[in-house]
Chain A
Amino acid sequence: MDAMSQPRRTALQRILGLRDFGVLVAALLIAAFFSIATPVFLTSYNLFNLLRQTSQLGIISMAMTLLIVSGEFDLSVGAIYAVTGVVTGILVNKLGMSIWVSASAGMVAGLALGYLNGLLIATTRINSFIATLSTMMVFRGLALVLSQAQPISLQLSFFMDLFGRAELFGVVPVPIVWMLGWGVAMYLLLHRTAFGVKVFATGDNREAADLAGIKTMRVKRVGFLITALAAGISAVISLSFLKTVTPTQGTGLELEAIAASVIGGTAMSGGVGSILGTFLGTFIMAEVRTGLVLLGTDAYIQDAFVGLVIALAVIINVRLSSRRK
C-alpha cells in the first residue's frame, strides 16, 4: 500500500539508536568519573576484581532478562541459589560424595525448583511476582531446614580451582570466564534463535504470539528453568571461591538481578531487553559499588547510591522509549 518513503538510516544513526549504546555510554562515563577521582580504579587488578565479584550476579541477571522479556519475574532465584549450595555441601560433607556428583545434584535440585515455579504459574495463572515471592520464602526455608541454619565448609580441590579460584593466564579469574561463556550462550539464545523470537513475541504481545501458534506458556516455563540453571551455576562458582556455603547466601540477589536488567534497558512490561544491556547494567552496579569503596565512602551509603543509579537509568529509559514511539 504505502510506498517506502523513509530513507534507510545511516550507520551512525543506527548505532546511536541502539538502546545498548546509551547504557555503554553511561558505563564509560561512570568509569571515567571514578578513574579521575581515584587512581586505583583504572587498574587491571581492580577491574578484574570488580568483574569477578559481579560474575555471579551477572549470570543470574542475564537469565532474569530473558524471563522478564517473556513477561515474567523470578524472585526465588536467590533462594534457589542457596538451595543449590546447601544441597551440594550436605552431599559432600554428610554423605561423603564427590564434589562433582554433589554439585550436579545441587544443580538438578535447583532446576527442579525452577520447574516448580513454572508449573505453579502455568496451572494457577497467578502473577509470577506473587508466586515466586511465596516460593522464594519456601525455598529459603528449605535451605535453612536442610542445613540446620549452619554454614558448611568444604575442602579445597581441583573442582574449586576450575569453577572459582584459578586464574586464566595467571590474570583472569575463572568466574569471569564462566560469566562471559554464559553471556554468549544467553546472547545467542535470546537474540539469534527462533526460541528467542518467541520470548520477545510472548512478552510484547501475548495475544498475537498465541495467534501465531506460539505456545507462550511453554516459553515462560523454559524461562523459569533458565533462571534456575543460572542460579545453580552461580552457586557453584560461589562455593568454589569461598569454600563454604551458607543457607542465607544470595539474599536480595533477585532484586539486584532485576535492577541490573532494568539499568540495562529491559522493560518491566516485557518484550524489550538485551543481554548485552544487562551485562553492562551489572557492570554499572559493580562500578558504582567498587568506586564508592575506593573513594572511602561509608559502606552504608552505597546502597543508597545504587538506588539512585537505578532510578536514573529507568527515567532515562522511559524518556528514550517514549521519544521513539
Chain B
Amino acid sequence: MATKVFMEALSPTMEEGRLVKWLKNEGDAVKNGDVLAEVETDKAIMELVARGDGVLRKRLVGEGESRPVGQLIGVITTADENIDALVASAGAPSGTAAPAAQAAAPSEAKPAEQVVAQSQGTTAASPVPRGGREAQGEASTPPQEKTAAAPVQPIAASGAAEGNGGQTRSSPLARRLASERGLDLSQVRGSGPGGRIIKRDIESAQAASAGAAPRQPAAAPAAGDFEDIPLTQIRKTIAKRLVESIGPIPTFYLTAEFDLTRVTEMRTAMAEMGDEFKVSINDILMKAVATALAQHPEVNAHWLGDRIRQHHRVHLGMAVATNDGLIVPVIFDADQKRMSDLSHEAKELAKRARERKLKPDEYTGSTFSISNLGMFGIDQFTAIINPPETAILAIGAAQDVAVPHGDGYVTRKRIRVTMSCDHRAVDGAVGATFLQTLRRLVENPLMLVF
C-alpha cells in the first residue's frame, strides 16, 4: 500500500515549507522514521521523515521549491506498485501543465515510465500555480491510508489528534475551553476515542503551556521580559545527541560546597537585633540564588523545543513536600524582593502548600527551582529538573566540616549544593559559572546588599 509523503506542518504556524535538500533518492529503500528531506519552515530547518516502509518511488518537488502544507510531495510504495493514479492526483489540479503532460504521455507506454515522464513534466512545468493551490491541497489530503496522522496535522511537531479528513476531533466543551483560554487545539493531543480532545487534555495542555509561558499576572511575560534565542546548528546537534544518549532531558550534575561562615555570622548578628530580623539559611540561599540568576539568564531559562527562552525576570520555584506529594510554589520576581519579604513569602507559600490551598497561578511560571532537603539531614542529593526549566538546585544540610587550616584543621559550617542542568540548554561551563557567582554571594553575603 502506498504511503504518501506530504509537506507536513513542522512548526505550529507553518503554512508552507521549502524543500532544502532531499536525503533519499528515488529508488532508495526507506523505513518508517527515516529522514527523507530537510525542510525549511517559517522558523527552522526541520527533518521530514517517512511515515511508512517501502521504496521512495517519486519525489514530486525539487530542491529549493516550496509547497503548502498538505501538498503531496512524494510517494513511498513497494518497488513494483503502480503509482500512476497517485502521482496524477498530485499533478492534476495544479493547472494546465498536468493535463498537457497527461495528454502527451503515450497511452500504451509502460506505467512506470509514463509516470516518470508525466510527473517530471508536471514538476518542471509548474511549481504549483497559486490559483491551483487550494484545490490541490484538498485533492491531496484524503485520510492517509497507512499512517497514523492526517496530512494537514503537524505530526512531527505536536502529535495532535488524528483528524477526520484533517479535522481535529474534540468535544464541544474542549473547544469552548480552548477558545476561552487561547489554546490552539491543533497543538493538543487528544486522549479520547479516536484521538478526541476532551476536557482533561485541555487542562493538561494548559498546565504544560502555563509552564512554558506563564500566564498569571505576576509572571505574564511582557515583551522585554525574556529573550528567545534561536537554536544554532551546534545547539540542535547537542540536543539531539544527548537526548539519544540519556533521555528526554539529558541531565548532568554539578556539586559544590559553600562555606557558610559569614552567612552564620550574618544570621547571628541579625538575630541579635531582634526576632523580626531572624532569617533562615534557606532564606539567605534563596536570596543569593535569585541574585545570581539575575546575572545568569542562561540558566534562568526555559527549553521550548525549538528555542531557548532566557527570562529577564526571576521566578523562583521552591519545592515543598506535602502529604499529597511534591509541589513547587513560585516566588515571583524573587531577585527584586528584600530578604525579609522572601522569607515571609516562602513561609506563607509553604504553609499554604501543605494546606493544599495554593492556586494554580501560585505554582506555575517558575524560571528556576530549588529543592532543600537539609532539614532531613541529607548531605547532598540530585534533584530532577522541573520542565521546561533548564536547571534546578538541590541544597543539602549545613554541617560542620573539618577543613585544612595552616598545619592543622578548623571546623567550618559548610553546605553542599548540586545543580542539575539540562544539557540541551546549559553546558557544564555555563552551570559552573553560575555556581561560581552563587559561591561568591553565599560566601560573602554582604554582596547581597550590593
Q: Are these two chains actual partners, yes or no? A: no
